[in-house]
């Protein structure tokens, strides 16, 4: 395709858009979301409860609480990946 043609200009514009999109992805941080920070606090609370349950030999329930806590922040992040 000859330089200066409409097709060449469109191709360069598309390439520029792709590069800009890559730059935006590099700047995005899910850790900056307040909801993610709140999820971390809830997860910490659930881990405290899970540790208490484990001390009372309620292992399965403790395991379920830990998994639920981890899934809170993982589900907030998953659309980003």
- HEC string of the chain equals CCCCCHHHHHHHHHHHHHHHHHHHHHHCCHHHCHHHHHHHHHHHHHHHHHHHHHHCCCHHHHHHHHHHHHHHHHHHHCCCC
3 vs 70, higher pLDDT: 70
Nearest to 77 by CA among 21, 23, 36: 36
Q: What is the pLDDT of residues 24-42, one digit of tens each?
A: 555 678 888 899 999 999 9
pLDDT tops 70 at residue 10: no
pTM: predicted TM-score of the whole model, two decimal places? 0.61
What pLDDT does residue 30 have? 84
pLDDT tops 60 at residue 80: no
Neighbours of 65 (CB within 10 A): 22
What pLDDT does residue 21 have? 65
């Amino acid at each position: 395709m000859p330089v200066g043609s409409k097709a060449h200009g469109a191709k360069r514009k598309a390439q520029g858009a792709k590069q800009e999109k890559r730059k935006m992805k590099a700047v995005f941080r899910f850790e900056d979301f307040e909801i993610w920070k709140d999820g971390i606090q809830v997860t910490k609370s659930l881990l405290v409860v899970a540790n208490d349950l484990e001390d009372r030999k309620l292992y399965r329930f403790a395991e379920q609480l830990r998994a639920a806590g981890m899934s809170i922040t993982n589900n907030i992040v998953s659309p980003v990946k």
